Chains A and B, each alone.
Chain A
Amino acid sequence: MAAVFGVRHLSPACSLHLSAFLDQLQPQVVLIEGPSDCSDFIEAVVSAELTPPFAIMAYTDTTPVRSVLYPFACYSPEYVAMQWAHAHQVPCVFMDLPAAAFLENDTPAKPQANDQAQDQAVDLKLDEEDRWERMFEHETDGAKFTEALALFAHHLRQLQPPDALTLRREAFMRGVIDHYIESGIDAERIAVICGAYHGEGLETPSASGQAEKLPALSVRRTLMPYSYFRLASLSGYGAGNKAPAYYEQLWQYGREGHPDQAAAAYLSQLSFYQRKHGYSCSTAQVIEALQLAQSLAALRQETAPSLQDLKDAAIACMGEGRPTVLMEAFVDTEIGTAIGSLPQGLSQTAIQNDFYHALRTLKLQRYNTLTANLLELDLREKTTVKTEASAFLDLRRSMFLHRLRVLGVPFGTLRPGTQARGDWKESWDLKWSSTAEITLIEASLSGDSIASAAQFVLRRQLTQAQQLSECAAVMEEAFLCGLQESLDDALKAVQALAIDSSALEEIVRTARRLSTLLRFGSLRRMDSTAIEPLFHQLFYRALLLCPGSCQCDGKAARGVMEALGSINELSILHDHYMEETWLDVLTELSGRDDVHPLLGGYAAAIRLERGLLAEAELEQWISYRLSPGVPAEIAAASFEGLMLRNHYALIARAYLWRQLDEYIASLSDPDFQRILLVLRRAFGAYSAAEKQAVAQNLGSLWQLDEDSVAEVLNDELKQEEQDLLSELEDFDFGEF
């Protein structure tokens, strides 16, 4: 019987005891649970140029790409065994089924299947990893550890009997072991490193000598650099550690023979991080946290505090009882930023494969050159072709190129100006470069296909976004990339941020963006049902915020005015959306005295444009706003607001000009100068013809001859008039 050492993948305690086990056994061959067709990677893995974390990956070369991943960190028992074998010049191979066996089924098999099973094992009201740490990670006695793990695996196997694939794997592994025994090596000196779950499966003798039929599926294999961030299962892979950096520390201190120092080191690192980021956190607090953690562990009759104990203690002693204070420090200290690297030229990642495959299917191969080529896309459905694939070929191309752009792969450059968000036309410059290839390999850290990597990048952008506009930008990216899931995530984030925003302009801008997606969503064949309620919420919120936002100073008023214009436009674009409420708001704005007069006037202008300001009401409004005694600036601003829209409608109403005339006549000279400035600015937006019409209005009011007025108006300016005008330029705005 071979010497089997059961491990849990990614467990420092296992690695520690494994080293001692190998030193004692001095095996002649080391067999490791891992895809047997990947054994040729072991040489590269143990080379000095490789820095963990890394992963062995196998993937199908046909679409849809399925992949299976074996991640390793410096504290992985398998990695430790490979290094041991290399140092002692002992042969070392993988002994599990070839990777293809895991890719046959549609669902990718998880190499750490036994970890998943533990979920159902025992419920101690702790999460699985914490439970594991409490039971095993702090056990320093090798014999006790092995015994306890074997017992645990035994119970696990009874709760969760092996499935067909597992049985096949175990039979295959037994075959490999038998092969080495037959070749003359003493069974006692064959070291077998496999998941503890398989221990019992390997002990039962092979039922038959029948050779395992190997799957015929063709797969590609590669080594790839990995990161602690990905290992920490934040990127969707379940098989990892939640706290790789913390586990690395357990491993380092354990190897040096001071396992008890890991807890103090962890807490000190937290306090270091806190101090560096401006929080006060004293050494005394670290000591108190350590005491509390130890006392928490003692409450459960455990020898050393687990990560959860340390965290809870840190929150109570260093974070004033609030986890949020320490959250960043936790992430930094537990996950860390370690990224692995490989010897050069080793990587042929799945994402590269996906890229070239996409070039083929999207008929973009001829653009894969070193010179830039123009590609014009028409995103609309082509009705003349037969298959759906070619009907939307350009749309799929566009999504592909946008995804690459999100990943930062400089393959295609979108020509500026052609990218009206909802437009159906896009122009790209395509060019292959070695930088593109390198960034593509780097992108493999984010995902195994272009789509999943882009999705990952967008999600990261989303978690970092703090401004509504940033989230909205991600939302648009997701829309352009055709990533439905990212779009839904982004919508959720936008909703969350919009709730806390009380800036009218930002909300309206976001609503505008949503409106674009709503109206053009069908062009990109995206599901826009989730957008509608959010649009409604933002729109309604904007309406609620209007009266408050309009009580502002002159500086802010221009921005708010634009927002009012946008709301009106959106309401019309979306089939008179919430029109009644919107018009109520406008009526309120135009009637109130405490909003900025420019905005009051503007609201009246919109009402006039929508045909909801009756003649009598307009006349009353004008006469109210231009009552004698109203300060010149306020009256002028009201009038300016009114004049900014529907010029002709205003020109046609003679009483309006009569009232303006009467008001101006009532002003003193300095007041007149002030109002002149505002009026001049207001009329700046009028065309020559409109100005002439205004002049004619006033002319007839003053009973002047139309022609002579026009003559004066369109004449060159005289010198003294020029002077007067330039005097106005220097006008002191005083309290404006």
Chain B
Amino acid sequence: MENQKFQRLPAEILYQKELDTLIANEQYPVPPGWNMSPRSVFTYICGGRSGKLEITPKYIGNPRLVEIAIATLVTDRALLLIGEPGTAKSWLSEHLCVAINGDSTKVIQGTAGTSEEAIRYSWNYAMLIAKGPSEEALVKSPLLHAMESGSLVRFEEISRCASEVQDALISILSEKRVSVPELNLEIPAQKGFSLIATANTRDKGVNEMSAALKRRFNIVVLPAPGDLKTEMDIVTQRVGQLSGSLGLQAKMPDQDIVEQVVTIFRELRAGATLDGKLKVKTTSGVLSSAEAISLLANSMALAASFGDGKIRAADVAAGLQGAIVKDEAKDGVAWKDYLENILKKKGLAYYELYHACMELNK
């Protein structure tokens, strides 16, 4: 297959069969501009059954959030997905577009260098100089294309754009039309147009969004995985994939080690022990599942390159120290506090890890 050479395929090709089945078995009314009913979109994303086909769940987490996201798009309001790094914001927005439009390719990838032209329109300057302003010389942004075709457009990492650039969206979202004064032209949005934006909250280099812009979105905050088991599953699965593709010659980490790392991450992230009995001082790092994954992959690389291929507590401890203590003065105290008051009391299973960590803090 020709597709095999790409690192990653778009969702509409990967899940084509599921999409076709859902459309074929549609039972509920389909909103204008949509490929399937809101209920089928929900089934596509959270999993279920359509006809004889088992639909795999794409988003593992609180289904209520998915319901709110879909209901928002039904009311043709724009949707803003907020969350810490690694909480499947882009993943969810891509699959929403695929299910609703069968097309996830209309996307603006926000950076600090994104200009207003990338959001509205720009010109083919050769043609502009040769022929003067004309519709042929107009280079439409993905957003403008989506308005014309009445479909969804994704805006990734919106908070990384400069605030002035973000604010170009304000009037577009309320008036649902873009004016091109050079051509004395107004391009109105067809029914079915909407926008899904994603934004990071806890990161360097993000710009605060203006209140006026936020007001134009319905906001859904995506949380970190809800329970220990879900997160362990995600971590184990991804570490396996990573070590496969990187060709690491180490054994997969034991479930015990995964559990210990994920437990420590979850407790420090939530600011409380898993049983909810004790509060824990939080640290400045994000400590997402993605970081747990890279920490374990890193430990595997350490064990494979310098050890006997089996991950030991010391391999993990160094990674933990680096992931958790980002700000020496504050995080250092919090981490020592955690080691002494929480980890030490977790009993025999954590004994080795506790000592390896304490060694680094002498």
Contact = CB atoms under 8 A, between A and B. Distances in A.
Contacts of A316: 68, 72, 218-220
A499 B67 contact: no
A664 interface: no
B277 A296 contact: no
Given A288-B77, A321-B219, A548-B329, A299 B71 contact: yes
A500 B333 contact: no
A312 B215 contact: no
A550 to B, nearest CB: 14
Contacts of A319: 219
Interface residues of B, number: 35
A107 B219 CA distance: 47
Interface string B314-345: 00000000000000010001001100110001
Nearest to A308: B64
Contacts of B280: 499
B218 A292 contact: yes
A626 B34 CA distance: 83
Nearest to A501: B281
Contacts of B341: 533, 536-537, 540
B329 A295 contact: no
A292 B68 CA distance: 8
A313 B281 CA distance: 32
Interface stretch (A59-67, A134-142, A279-287, A669-677): A279-287
A544 B39 contact: no
Given A291-B77, A320-B214, A540-B337, A296 B279 contact: no
A541 interface: yes
Given A321-B219, A321-B220, A292 B72 contact: yes
A536 B82 CA distance: 39
B77 A321 contact: no
A618 interface: no
B150 interface: no
A285 B278 CA distance: 38
Contacts of B63: 125
B337 A321 contact: no
Interface string A286-328: 0010011001101100000000000011001101111000000
Contact of B215 (A285, A299, A500, A544): A285
Interface in B56-77: 63-64, 67-68, 70-72, 74-75, 77
Contact of B39 (A299, A312, A492, A536): A299
B82 A321 contact: yes
B37 to A, nearest CB: 9
B80 interface: yes
Given A282-B215, A292-B77, A544 B72 contact: no
Given A291-B75, A540-B337, A548-B329, A499 B281 contact: yes
A313 B336 CA distance: 42
Per DSSP, are chain B's interface residues mostly helix, strand or loop, or mixed? helix
A489 to B, nearest CB: 12
A473 interface: no
Contact of B71 (A292, A499, A541, A544): A292
A295 B71 contact: yes
Contacts of B345: 533
B211 interface: yes
Interface in B4-51: 38-39, 42
Contact of A299 (B42, B220, B221): B42
A496 interface: yes
A3 interface: no
Interface string B231-263: 000000000000000000000000000000000
A544 B38 CA distance: 55
Nearest to A290: B75
Contacts of A125: 63
Interface in B198-243: 211, 214-215, 218-221
Contact of A500 (B67, B74, B281, B340): B281
A433 interface: no
A319 B71 CA distance: 17
A496 B340 contact: no
B329 A292 contact: no
A495 B279 contact: yes
A443 B100 CA distance: 58
A503 to B, nearest CB: 13
A45 to B, nearest CB: 41
B271 interface: yes
Given A299-B38, A321-B220, A540-B337, A284 B215 contact: yes
A545 interface: yes
A540 B337 CA distance: 8
Contacts of B68: 292, 296, 312-313, 316
Contact of A544 (B74, B80, B218, B333): B333
Contact of B75 (A295, A312, A321): A295
8 contacts: A291-B75, A292-B68, A299-B39, A299-B67, A299-B74, A495-B278, A498-B279, A540-B341
6 closest residue pairs by CB, A with B: A321-B219, A321-B221, A496-B279, A295-B71, A316-B218, A499-B279
Given A292-B75, A299-B38, A537-B337, 13 more contacts: A125-B63, A288-B77, A291-B75, A296-B67, A296-B68, A312-B68, A313-B68, A316-B218, A317-B218, A321-B80, A533-B345, A544-B333, A544-B336
